[in-house]
């Protein structure tokens, strides 16, 4: 095993003593799954959200990071039972969905926003993002809420997928725009949400802006109920080599500047400038910046 050093992950500093405890837990709790290990570690370290729910997903990601550094050895991932019959892709996903829909968004209204909560919905979301989003599907770090969006006419059909997840830990342009101190950023960052995936499946005029509007309306309540935190600001990163971000601009999102191109996991700064993206934000309340910088006073 590698020598234990202090670690910082998702805004939390883990002491050498805490990491030694994590090593002990993983080494002595044989026979339990990785997920069960994550819950156990969360409980012992009291790693929780403001609503007292355990940060199990973040903990799972952290344990895998520690394993990649040689700090500990996790149990093997459980293999999914293989079915004797091949996987059948639902008929609605066997071809490009909604690709033949044309016209203005008003002709297909009202839109129905469905939060992804059960297995069938998760499979639909993963299938569509995996096939049609240029980044594909990947499990996001930390908190997440996903939506499927449907048109109701001429028949009910999926026309969009939207994912919101934990924000970028640091972004110079965003942090300077908010003007918060380092200490305040650590406290208030959880009130920022990242729009990490946005997929529009039908060439319907103004559909993208309408989907953004509808999902943001749902996000406010869903995020607070799920995580016990009131979202104040939504951010997104637009690949400038691929997109202009017109639907965001048309929906009054604010452009703050560009990223350095490093990405969330490029700690060694090896990819500086390689994937520069435009930073856009949308305040969910009128005094969002003040609350993020100063608190709710």
Give pLDDT tens digits for 202-234: 888 999 999 999 999 999 999 999 888 899 999
**Looking at residue 95, what is its pLDDT?**
53
Of 65-69, 101-105, 168-172, 288-292, the range with the lowest mean pLDDT is: 101-105
Separation between Cα atoms, residue 61 and residue 35, nearest integer Å: 10
Q: State the pTM of this model.
A: 0.73
Q: What is the pLDDT of residue 2?
A: 63
How confident is the model at residue 154, as a pLDDT? 83
pLDDT at 255 over 80: yes
Among the residue ranges 19-33, 43-57, 146-160, 224-238, the one predicted with the least confidence is: 19-33
pLDDT band with cut points at 50, 70 and 90 for residue 52:
confident
User: What pLDDT is recorded for position 51?
Assistant: 82
Q: Is the peptide bond before 110 cis (omega within 30 degrees of 0)?
A: yes
- At a CB cut-off of 8 Å and minimum separation 6, what does 23 contact? 1, 4, 71, 72
The larger pLDDT score, comparing residue 240 to residue 252, is at 252
Report pLDDT digits (tens) over 167-211. Answer: 888 899 999 999 999 989 988 998 999 999 999 998 889 999 999
Average pLDDT, the chain: 84
User: Residue 54 forms beta bridges with which residues?
Assistant: 48
Q: Is residue 236 packed enough to be buried (19+ CB in 10 Å), middle (13-18) or exposed (0-12)?
A: buried
Q: What is the 3-state secondary structure (H, E, C) of 71-106?
A: CCCCCCCCCCCCCCCCCCCCHHHCCCCCCCCCEEHH
pLDDT grade, residue 104 (50/70/90)?
A: confident
Instruction: Return d(Cα 207, Cα 201) in angstroms, integer.
Output: 9
**Strand bridging mode 112-115 / 157-165:** unpaired
CA distance 90 to 124: 9
pLDDT above 70 for 293 = yes
> Sign of the C-alpha dihedral, residues 277, 279, 280, 281?
positive
pLDDT for 38 beyond 60: yes
On whether the CB atoms of residues 47 and 54 are closer than 8 A, the answer is: yes
In this prediction, residue 94 carries a pLDDT of: 46
Instruction: Give pLDDT, residue 256.
Output: 95
Q: How confident is the model at residue 98 (pLDDT cuts 50, 70, 90)?
A: low
- Report the pLDDT value the prediction gives residue 56, as an integer from 0 to 100: 87
pLDDT over threshold 90, residue 262? no
Paired residues of 237 in beta bridges: 279
For 12-37, write each residue's pLDDT tens digit. Answer: 889 998 998 888 888 867 667 888 88
> Which of the listed ranges 24-28, 236-240, 266-270 does the model predict with the highest average pLDDT?
236-240
Percent of the chain with pLDDT over 90: 41
Q: What is the mean pLDDT of residues 240-269?
A: 77
Q: Determine the average pLDDT of the residues in 127-135.
A: 91
């Amino acid at each position: 095993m590698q020598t234990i050093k202090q670690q910082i992950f998702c805004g939390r500093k883990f002491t050498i003593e805490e990491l030694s405890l994590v090593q002990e837990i993983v080494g002595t709790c044989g026979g339990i799954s990785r997920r069960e290990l994550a819950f156990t570690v969360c409980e012992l370290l009291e790693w929780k959200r403001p609503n007292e729910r355990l940060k199990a997903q973040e903990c799972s990601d952290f344990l895998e990071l520690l394993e990649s550094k040689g700090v500990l050895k996790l149990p093997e991932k459980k293999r999914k039972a293989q079915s004797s019959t091949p996987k059948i892709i639902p008929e609605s996903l066997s071809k490009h969905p909604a690709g033949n829909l044309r016209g203005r968004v008003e002709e297909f209204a009202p839109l129905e926003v469905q939060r992804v909560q059960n297995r069938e919905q998760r499979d639909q979301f993963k299938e569509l993002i995996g096939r049609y989003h240029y980044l594909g599907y990947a499990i996001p770090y930390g908190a997440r809420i996903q939506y499927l969006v449907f048109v109701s006419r001429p028949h009910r059909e999926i026309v969009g997928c939207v994912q919101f997840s934990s924000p970028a830990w640091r972004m110079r342009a965003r942090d300077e725009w908010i003007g918060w101190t380092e200490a305040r950023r650590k406290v208030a960052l959880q009130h920022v949400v990242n729009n990490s995936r946005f997929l529009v499946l039908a060439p319907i005029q103004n559909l993208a802006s309408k989907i953004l509007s509808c999902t943001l309306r749902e996000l406010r309540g869903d995020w607070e109920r799920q995580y016990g935190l009131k979202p104040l600001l939504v951010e997104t990163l637009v690949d400038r080599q691929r997109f202009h971000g017109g639907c965001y601009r048309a929906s009054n999102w604010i452009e703050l500047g560009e990223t350095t191109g490093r990405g969330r996991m490029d700690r060694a700064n090896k990819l500086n400038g390689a994937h520069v993206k435009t930073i856009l934000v949308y305040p969910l309340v009128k005094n969002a910046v003040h609350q993020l910088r100063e608190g709710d006073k």
